[in-house]
Chain A
Amino acid sequence: MANERPKADVVIVGLGWAGSVMAEELTRAGLNVVAIERGKWRDTSTDFPPAVDPDELKWHTRRQMLAAPSRETYTFRNRSSQTAAPTREWSAFQFGENVGGAGTHWAGMSWRFSPWDFEVATRTEDRYGRARLDALRAEGLLLQDWGITYDDLAEDYDRFERIAGTSGIAGNLNGEIRPGGNPFEGPRSRDYPTPPLKDSYWMARYRDTTTRMGYHPFTIPAGNLGQAYVNPLGVSMGPCTYCGFCDFHGCGNYSKSSPQACILPVLMRRPNFTVLTETQALNAVKSEDGKTVTGVRYVGSDGQGEGFQPADIVIFTAYQMDNVRLMLLSRIGEQYDPSTMQGTIGRNYNYQTCSSVTGYFDGAKMNPFISAGAMAVQIDDLNGDNFDHADLDFIGGAGMMSVQTQGRPIALANTLRPGTSRWGSGWKEGFSKSYNEAATLFNQGTSMSTRDAYLSLDPTYEDRFGQPLLRITFDWNRNDKAMMRHITDKAQAIMQEAGADAMTTDLQTENSWNPYTQLSSHTIGGLVMGADPTTSALNPYCQSWDCHNVFSVGANCFPNNAGYNPTVTIGALAIRAAKAIHSTYVNNPGPLVEA
């Protein structure tokens, strides 16, 4: 093939969080790793120092650091009976396009999933009976376990948190419930690497209110560091300065967990690591017997044309959607078909069920500009299975957080008391108050995949290389809508109790899902892990059931989504997969789990 590069032990497609932690594990184990990254090299002092970072228009409104829809987008429809349309403008999803990937522009919310989230099927049956599980499945929910438990992942969670310098306060230390932390979390072996962020006025008020109401508030775990820190790789990080320019922005002072701040300084200097920047992976190439792949086809930057990177192991860590798309473009495995329920690639697509309730407090000074991407107090009393669902018509729940995450004026210009004009003197009067008087309770809920929600290649629309775009077929399911109605009622009650003088609610589940008006960027599943190859594309080590030298890590691995942000679970799965590769797979290449 034209422009064939020297063979590598491992080729990694996408150098974001998952790719970086895997490359770090694998190169430390002595493997020769080449990463293919479609974006440019970006570094703290040269690309997003404090001198350029606090600029809402450039980074948030125009999303300068993200992959533009013109470079990659997806098509969407609610049902298989519809023709999908391409998402033409910026939407809910945030594709990264730089070394560091979305790990550079994420907000920093640094959750572990709860033990329940990994075993929704088993635990639902255990607590509510087989009939309840069967009924949920009968209405179309694809409830299935992940093939691993929280305990299986605990050590890797810990490793990722240490690399990231996560701030927070432990609520469950080796089974002992600790004051101030999240009493519902899975047990952790030690406290967070750095102390929690401080409370804002809104967070303190929410903490008081929810305590009064019998809930259990705690400061959320954050990739915004509570103090200066040196991680296990020997890289120093700074303390968060509450600058308020976090998600969509890089971090200018080494205080937000990111590949740049945590891993790349060490990884880049390893002699057995190379990254091809501005290089777009097209697909993996299968060997003649179809049981393995031989490497990755790519298009080089600036007209360097097509090339091939041979490797013994191919890892897709390119973002949830891209991982699914790469599998389909590489013809690995079988496309899921909702009418027959056959095939696993594209199956179990799910999302993040959300709502927000904003309160307006007359005369308050919330000072929203003093904020951090993961600055919030949350209650988990109504998350996951932390409350009894016996008499409720849904499973799952939501984390309910008092967010103090940004004060960007353009983004907040629609945060207005009910009845306020969106323009004219009415808007000026209203916004001049609500900017500082508004406070939001964000409800981030679980999402169950269904028979009808899936990913496939679009038959009509193509990217700039002539390859078909990914097509999403998705709409809210009854269970998740019922869950979010329940949660939103509770949220409104809390906001009332907190003393809000007025309130607005954004409950997207009451409308058909579309890409433009959503509250979350978390696109999940489609290439999920599991113990059963008929219902999962990947085994519990994120290894393809179909081609044993292909691994994929991303939110695509999750058969269902938790009421939490996905990053830390992705990071932990990446570490787990990398450890399995260098400790077991390289010595004896083949399936790590027998089907």
Chain B
Amino acid sequence: MTSSLSKRTLMLAVAALCAIGIVGGVAYAASLKKGLKVYVIPKNLGNSYFTTADSVKTDGALAALGTLGEKGTETSGTAATPASQLPVIQSSIAKGANALIISADDPLALCPTLKSAAAKGVTVVTYDSDAPTCRSIYVENAPAQSIGESEVVDMAKELGAAGGQVAIVSAAASATNQNTWIGYMKTELKKYPKLDLVSTVYGNDDPTTATQVTQGLLQKYPKLKGIISPTTVGILAAAEVIDKAKDIGKVLLTGLGTPLEMKSYIENGTSPDVILWNPARTGYIAAYAAVELASKAITDATGQTFTAGSFGKETIGPDGTIDPGGTTTFTKANVNQFHF
């Protein structure tokens, strides 16, 4: 009797445990709210980089929001300026946004608006470009140090033992991320005495200006062997200039570029190596972070963790920053495997 009783008790207990487990599981899933209005606000619309970071097709932010059952909308201005981004943020708040995922055009200009959004209970997550004092979590693309260093390592590899003069084609002289990367590049360059950094020029992420400054470099430094361009717009312009000057192989290019846009230059030898993180990864993780926060499943405290779908466990680091991993180098061998 006792044994059968205890057996029954055991069965009940197991059943109860199972039920708790199921309920717990459901409760866990339900703790992520559905139907949240989440606005994804890139620096500007019509920028292929952000199209990759955001769209469903590329498994970006909107794909993650779709999987979680939220109402995701991508919106921004047509120019990558705070003046163009600010009204979009305001109207998103007015439309009852639960969360904003934003790549800040200018942290100082956007901060007051983002802070007032947070005061109204809107979750603010930044990705790609941060607004440090007025968001909960920032999902960075890849650690700045590894971005800067890997560009120098690739340049050194391209130029080989002989080395030579190298120059940098940057975006705007005031761009924080560019200058941070260039800082790490300069530190890394000290390890390669054969690489001689002769000049840093600024193409302002405008094809015309970038073309002119690159052409200027080729004229001013006829012995130039390599160009590093840590900007997806600058590297394209530099590649076209090298191609059109018939300097392929004479001047080698590396830097940050998307594999799809740089494909023909990687294949024809203008730019044997191109580096980038996966922009869609940044968008995807930012979407999960925003929904977790808005559902109050996590806070922005250091050490909090959550699972970002196929990218697995993400941990919030110091200053509410999430580091999703390193960079990828695209070469002739692997460029066809990537579709962004």
**Are A and B part of the same complex?**
no
- Which residues in B have some Cβ–Cβ distance to A below 8 Å? none
